[in-house]
Amino acid sequence: MNERRDDKLTAAARQLATEIKPQRDLWPDIERAIAAPEPRRSRWTPMFAQAAAVVLLVGASSGLTYLAVKDDRPVVITQPTPEYTFERASFGSSYTLGRDYLATRADVVARFEQQVERLSPAERQDVERSLEVIRGAIDDINAALQQDPDNTLLQDLLMKTYHEELNVMRKVGGVTQSVMSRRDI
Amino acid sequence: MAALLMMETGDNMAGMVSRTATSMRDDAALVARAAAGDTRAFEALYRAHVDRVYGLCLRMTGNVGEAEDCAQEAFIQAWKKLGKFRGDSAFGTWMHRIAVNAVLGRIRKSKREQDRIQVAAEMGSSPASIGDSGNLRDLSDAIDRLPEGARHVFVLNAVYGYTHEESSDMLGVAVGTTKAQLHRARRLLAQQLEEQGFEA
């Protein structure tokens, strides 16, 4: 029964058209694409991005760790300053960030925005500078990934950099929360 | 092997095979010229193979716009890789491999498969049925409604006559997977077509 059914299906499938004319001529677009000079893949850019990102991350991470372990700071409530703008996270041009990561990030960003206002202006400036450095690195790596989308080193580095961004924001949350609880007690 | 298999697959296939047999030498000459940078030669290759490449893309994606993009991408990739074409297989088969990669790459990239199924269901008659008539149009539409994996295997095996080994190689899955997907595709197609009173 099933065999007969499969035979009928196979016979019918083999009568389907295998050659179908496109509704428009695709050649002009293809010709344009192959005539355009191939963007020169610079080995320098990815390597520079990797090296720069590593250096910047170490610096940013050290700064935030220092902030996190500093003792006995008074709670300083500053006047609200212009909102931080969090651009939508991206991952090169060929991949997208996972839903879990984006959800976690949105949560951390929301908490960060609340907590960062409790820092002193100087500390806040440090945090801002650190995040700026990390986001600059993310932009650099993303740009390098657009030129070299399959570079696994860059992909890995970008993942770590996003992770580092989350850590920085979490640390800020930790610092302000611990300061607040000491005062409360 | 693929050529032998295709000879058994009906009139349209036989026509294609005879054309392939006579044009393989032409293809080889055109490939050599195109690999040296002759875009006119590459255009001739495009004209000779676009219907078959586009046909495969359309059957695999079920969407005219995506099929056009995939076919374009396949030819652009082919141009870049012409130097690597050794002539071990026919140029048309080589192009098919590149087209399958273009389709799979696009699906991975866009992740719009779910949207596509919804749109196809809403549209009723799918654009992939272009070129088919009568009962074949029903079959074509039913193929288009198959889940992605089953559809890809059915198109390559049943419509284009590739063996399980060839399909698994093109799709980057195990032979056992293509066999299971083909079985699943047939079962789902039979269910769909039975409801429509399809007679092959």
The CATH number of the domain where B96 resides is what?
Answer: 1.10.1740.10
Write out the residue range of the structural domain in which residue B22 sits. 1-111
- In which band, very low, low, confident or very high, does the pLDDT at A168 lie, cut at 50, 70 and 90? confident
A95 forms beta bridges with: A91
Q: How many domains does chain B have?
A: 2
Question: Rounded to two decimals, what is the model's pTM?
Answer: 0.55
Cβ–Cβ under 8 Å, residues B116 and B66: yes
Task: State both tokens at B36.
Answer: 């040296």
B128 within domain boundaries: no
* Residue A174 identity (one-letter amino acid): G
Alpha-carbon distance A166 to nearest alpha carbon in chain B (angstroms): 25
CATH of the domain at B188: 1.10.10.10
Residue B188: CB atoms within 10 A of its CB come to 18
CA-CA distance, A120 to A64, in Å (whole number)? 14
Q: Which of B54, B78, B111 is the last residue of a domain?
A: B111
Residue B194 shares a structural domain with residue B150: yes
Q: Cβ contacts (< 8 Å) between B59 and chain A: which residues?
A: 16
What percentage of chain B carries pLDDT values higher than 90?
54
* pLDDT score of A182: 39
Express each pLDDT in A3-59 by its tens digit: 777 888 888 888 898 999 999 999 999 999 998 776 655 555 556 666 666 666 666
B121 within domain boundaries: no
B119 within domain boundaries: no
B27 within domain boundaries: yes
Cβ–Cβ under 8 Å, residues B156 and B172: no
CA-CA distance, B167 to A35, in Å (whole number)? 32
Residue B96 shares a structural domain with residue B149: no
B117 within domain boundaries: no
Residue B8 shares a structural domain with residue B89: yes
Residue B33 shares a structural domain with residue B68: yes
Whether residue B131 and residue A20 make contact (CB cut-off 8 A), yes or no, is: yes
**ipTM for this prediction:** 0.76
Whether residue A34 and residue B42 make contact (CB cut-off 8 A), yes or no, is: yes
CA-CA distance, B128 to B143, in Å (whole number)? 9
Residue B97 shares a structural domain with residue B45: yes
The answer for residues whose C-beta is within 8 angstroms of residue A25's C-beta and 6 or more apart is none
Residue B197 shares a structural domain with residue B148: yes
Task: State both tokens at B168.
Answer: 């698994």
In a 3-state reduction of DSSP, which class is residue A69?
helix
The answer for residues whose C-beta is within 8 angstroms of residue A167's C-beta and 6 or more apart is A61, A64
